[in-house]
Structure formats: structure tokens, C-alpha cells
Amino acid sequence: MSETTPVPAEPSVIPEPRSVSVAVISECLRLGFRDFVSKPIFGIMFSLVYVLGGMVMYAIFSASAAEYWFIPIAVGFPILAPFAATGLYEVSRRLESGEAISFGGVFGVVFAQKDRQIPSMAMFILLVFMFWVFMAHTIFALFFGLQPITGSTRSMLFSQNGVLMLLVGSAVGGVMAAMFYALTVVSLPLLLDREVDFITAMVTSFGCVTKNPVTMGLWAALIAAALFVGMLPLFLGLFIVLPVFGHASWHLYRRLLPKEA
């Protein structure tokens, strides 16, 4: 998929997912950091949308004294993060294959995805995010819907109802996040790299996760922790977290589904 190579029309053959050890995670993170350092401008540009978007949303909720509504948005943030990674996957793919890297080439490939399967995948991701926000609002209403909101957000969350709400919300969100992660962690780089439909991509991703539950579970925990830390200092940490983990996800995909001979 270089600047002059047309998008393949024939369906790709999907290899059997490989079993990978936990050690592959440190290797992929090292390669992800290497790719980011090699072409940092792309990582910064793709992350900028999320950093600015997070700042604007927090400012809006703070101005309306409704910071508690920002919590489900922040918790659901990892659902939208893969969007930024599409361009990063292309940068890593080009570094891997020795192809020229230019703004026109990378953004051209990203733009060309409109005629492939990634828009369908994007719609699925947005629907999941919207459903999570709906569920979060429903859980909030179950615990606080019949009483006025008084005091600070901190005092509300650490009240008896607040603690119960957080426990229930964490349980529901955890189940949703685990299922979503299993369906998308491999599917997005797969859709960029090969000619497959998004349903096949999600099934393949689920197969990769179930074949490597410990490794992929640890990878999920690292992503969640890194995104949480990256969002704390006014979202500025995402300028590093998103690119490094985006590039690293490409290399993990390569080890789970090796490149065709």
C-alpha cells in the first residue's frame, strides 16, 4: 500500500494466529518507541486531536459544574483511541518494509480507507462508545436520579451511593471493555494491512486473544494504565502514550498474524 500501489481487491488469506509469550510485550513496546522516535511528527499530529478534544470536553463539563459527567467519557476514552492508531499503523508498516514515508503517502492511505472496511469498524466503535455512555448515565440515574446533586464531585463519589455506583459501573464497564478489546485489538491493523471484511477481522481478533489470554490480558492492562496516566496531566501525556502504544500494537499484530510470504 505505497503511494502508487492500489488497494488490493482480492480477499486476503488469514493465517492461523500464533501463540506468543509475555516477553513479546516488552519487545513490541521497544519497537513502538523506536518508531515514534523515528517519525515523531506523525505521532504528535494524530494525538493532537485527542489531547485537544479531552481538554475541550473537560472545560465544558467544568464550566457547567458537572465534572461527574466527564467520568464515563474519560473511562470510555480507550474505546476511541484506536482511531488515532490507523495512521500510526501505516507509519510502522512503511518503516518495517523500507518504504518512503511522507505526509502525502501516510495521509493518502488513511484517506483511502473510506472505500474499505475501516468506516464500518469505526461505526461499530462509535456505537459501542455511545452504548457505554448510555449505560453509564443509566447507572448514575439508578443511584442519584431521585436526589439533588449537592456538594462537590469528590464528596458525591465517596458517599455511600457513590461508592456503590462506582463498583457497579466498574463491573459493567469491565465486561464491556473486555469484549470490545478482544474484538478490536487486532482487527484494526488487520483491516489496514489485508483485504478482509470487518466481521472477519473481529472474529480473527477474538481468536488471537483467546489463544493468548495471559499475554493479551496483560497488554490490555498496560494500555488502560498508560492511557489513564496519560490523561492525568491535562491529557498531555497522550502525546507519548498514544503513539508508542499505537506503533507497538502494529508490531504485536505482526507477531500474532505473521506477514504473508
| Per-residue pLDDT at 209 | 96
From 31, 16, 22, select the one nearest 245 (Cα to Cα): 31
Query: Residue 5: its pLDDT value, please?
Result: 43
pLDDT number for residue 218: 96
Q: Is the pTM of this model over 0.85?
A: no
pLDDT of amino acid 227: 84
What is the pLDDT at residue 80?
62
- pLDDT tens digits, one per residue of 199-226: 999 999 999 999 999 999 999 999 988 9
**Cβ atoms 54, 251 nearer than 8 A:** no
pLDDT at residue 6, rounded to an integer: 41
Q: Report pLDDT for 4.
A: 42
Instruction: Give CA–CA dist 247/252, Å, rounded.
Output: 9
Determine the pLDDT at residue 96: 93
Q: Nearest Cα to 216, choosing from 193, 190, 175, 184?
A: 184
Cβ contact 205:186 at 8 Å = yes
Query: What is the distance between the alpha carbons of residues 110 and 108, in angstroms, rounded to a whole number?
Result: 5
Check residue 67 and report its DSSP letter.
G
Inter-residue contact 116 to 122 (CB < 8 Å):
no
All residue ranges of the chain with pLDDT < 50 are 2-8, 261
